Structure 1
Amino acid sequence: MTDRALAVVRAGALTTVQDRGRPGHAHVGVPRSGALDAPAAALVNRLVGNPPGAAVLETTLTGCALRPRCPVTVAVGGAPCRVTVDGRPVPWGAPVDVPAGALLDVGAAEAGVRAYVGVSGGVLVEPVLGSRSTDLLSGLGPPPLADGTVLPLGRPGEPPARVDVAPQPAPAAELVLRVTPGPRADWFTPEALRVFTTLPYRVSSASNRIGLRLDGPALPRSRTGELPSEGMVLGAVQVPPEGGPVVFLADHPTTGGYPVIGVVRAADLPAAAQAAPGTPVRFTAVRRR
């Protein structure tokens, strides 16, 4: 076992390769994609000595298990979880040396949704439009990992960080999202706008990398009919006909025909990525900057 590669022993519910995504292609229908919790992905890269944009693994709820074919340094961050090497507990949120052939097991999320696994040298799958990210909506990038997948690794760069444990924000018990009203707030009744920013919602189990779906009070429209398709941005809160809001995340479509009642501040979206089903959600209106 001398080649620089990582074998997937247990892929988990959904584990994908992610980096900073592929911005700048919305005009040709390609979403940005990339790690949903970008600060967590950048942190695990820093802990193992990678540049911030190196590709990492993003797990969903159930973690994954990996066997490197060469000695590597790994760090796991994002959703807190149990991490072991050949059955021995090792620190979460800190660089850990893993020998060639050892089994790294990233356990189920104890809070939050998505854990991030940084590996020294980064995951070196073939880039598409400048990014190694998996995009679930468009199908660009590598497919979600399956048991038996072998991932190539790059050469290590800087030495790992010298820390015992790196501080990371805990997943929110209640998610508060700052939202700028519009651009289609005029498609909703005054009562809908009041409900949107005063009453609570909960994260739906139907949420995914495309959008955070919310259960709660419907938002009635003041107009009938549908909009022509128009451009959609990260954080847009779209309201389908049934009236339940959807917050668009990294793999969101670049156009849509349902009205957007507001846009969530980008700084609040990493916390949304870690909001487990059932998490209470409140929207608070803010002015345009």
Structure 2
Amino acid sequence: MITVLRAGPLTTVQDLGRPGYAHLGVPRAGALDGPALRRANRLVGNVPEAAGLETTLLGCKLRFEEAATVAITGAVVTLKLDRQPVEGPVVRVPAGGVLEVGRAVRGVRSYLAVAGGIAVEPVLGSRSTDTLAGLGPERLTDGMTLPVGSQPDGSEPGGDIADPASPDVPGGELVLGIRLGPRDDWFEGRGLFVSAYAISPMSNRVGARLAGTALTRTRAGELLSEGVVLGAVQVPADGQPIIFLADHPTTGGYPVIGVVDDVTPLAQARPGTTVRFRDLD
């Protein structure tokens, strides 16, 4: 078992999500930075889809009731074991040891995998917390406990541990590839590609809100609700785009101007980060 001593502002259990249920109104959810979670699992010998913890900006503090092998990837953080600084990404924690994942100094979200995985009860085949639909385990709170599964026989930690940050945290301006449609004809010209946008502090696991030059609509009125997907760029009445992330709704009534091909970099993009779009068509 793991006891949560400090949960942090938003720490959740995440795996690779629950695809295949959008027709029931259930989004995929799952880790925002899937490659970082996969890497953490590989480093402790887990299968890629094992559940770990996703922290946000301020980390968390955990006590391990039994000895454990832990890996931390994603955002660059400081680590302390029993109040002493340690180097990651792989940490061997003794029974009763307290591991503190500190404030992110680069990036936003860190991923903590423990050998055996976080063994909370799955919902629709996934252990992910869906912050919009309310499915899966509750977000972590101080004092709660988390079960740890058994490591598969014959599995051992592996993978490159030389640089825990470089594969996971992009730097500088983000350029996101996008395919226009289905409602790009509701907007003037190619305004989406002219201006730079900034990530808004109002962003969360549901969507990355952008702030910049408002897109101008050429059509009045509203749409009936339509299906939306991961990476859909929805444009509400204020003209400021929203890029849907893992916990997005499965339908929406605002026009979707296009779909971003890979939203992974947004998992580590801090508020104020500059975003530009590149036309993939």
TM-score normalised by length of structure 2: 0.96
Note the C-alpha offset of 1:15.
0.1
Structure 1 counterpart of 2:57 = 61
Q: 1:199 aligns with which of 192, 195, 201?
A: 195
What CA RMSD, in Å, does the superposition of the two structures yield over aligned residues? 1.1
SS in 2 for 1:186: helix
- 1: CA distance, partners of 2:157 / 2:65: 19
Structure 2 counterpart of 1:274 = 268
Q: Is residue 2:234 matched to residue 1:234?
A: no
Note the C-alpha offset of 1:172.
2.4
Q: 2:94 aligns with which of 92, 96, 99?
A: 99
For 2:279, the aligned partner's letter is A
Q: Does the Cα contact within 8 Å between 2:73 and 2:168 map onto a contact in 1? A: no
Deviations 1:196-238 (A, max 9, x none): 1121000000000000001101001100000000000000000
Note the C-alpha offset of 1:90.
1.7
Q: Is residue 2:166 matched to residue 1:170?
A: no
Q: 1:16 to 1:169 in 2, by over 3 A?
A: closer
Q: Is residue 2:30 matched to residue 1:31?
A: no
For 1:173, the aligned partner's letter is G
Structure 1 counterpart of 2:184 = 185
Q: Does the Cα contact within 8 Å between 1:80 and 1:92 map onto a contact in 2? A: no
Q: 2:138 aligns with which of 106, 120, 143?
A: 143
Note the C-alpha offset of 1:169.
3.8
Q: 1:130 aligns with which of 110, 125, 128?
A: 125
For 1:127, the aligned partner's letter is P
- 1: CA distance, partners of 2:147 / 2:230: 30
Aligned sequence identity (%): 57
- 1: CA distance, partners of 2:113 / 2:161: 16
Structure 2 counterpart of 1:261 = 257
Note the C-alpha offset of 1:187.
0.7
Structure 2 counterpart of 1:82 = 78
Q: Does the Cα contact within 8 Å between 1:212 and 1:248 map onto a contact in 2? A: yes
Note the C-alpha offset of 1:182.
0.8
Note the C-alpha offset of 1:108.
0.7
Note the C-alpha offset of 1:164.
4.3
Note the C-alpha offset of 1:189.
1.3
- 1: CA distance, partners of 2:2 / 2:53: 11
- 1: CA distance, partners of 2:215 / 2:127: 38
Structure 2 counterpart of 1:21 = 17
Q: Name the count of aligned residue pairs.
A: 277
Structure 2 counterpart of 1:286 = 280
SS in 1 for 2:243: strand
Q: Does the Cα contact within 8 Å between 1:81 and 1:92 map onto a contact in 2? A: no
Structure 1 counterpart of 2:219 = 223
Note the C-alpha offset of 1:24.
0.3
Note the C-alpha offset of 1:163.
4.7
Structure 1 counterpart of 2:149 = 154
TM-score normalised by length of structure 1: 0.94
Note the C-alpha offset of 1:170.
3.0
- 1: CA distance, partners of 2:158 / 2:81: 19
Note the C-alpha offset of 1:162.
6.3
- 2: CA distance, partners of 1:63 / 1:275: 16
- 2: CA distance, partners of 1:263 / 1:214: 15
SS in 2 for 1:247: strand
Map 1:241-260 onto structure 2 (within 5 A): 241-260=237-256
Unaligned runs of 5+ in 2: none
Structure 2 counterpart of 1:6 = 2
Q: Does the Cα contact within 8 Å between 1:125 and 1:132 map onto a contact in 2? A: yes
Unaligned runs of 5+ in 1: none
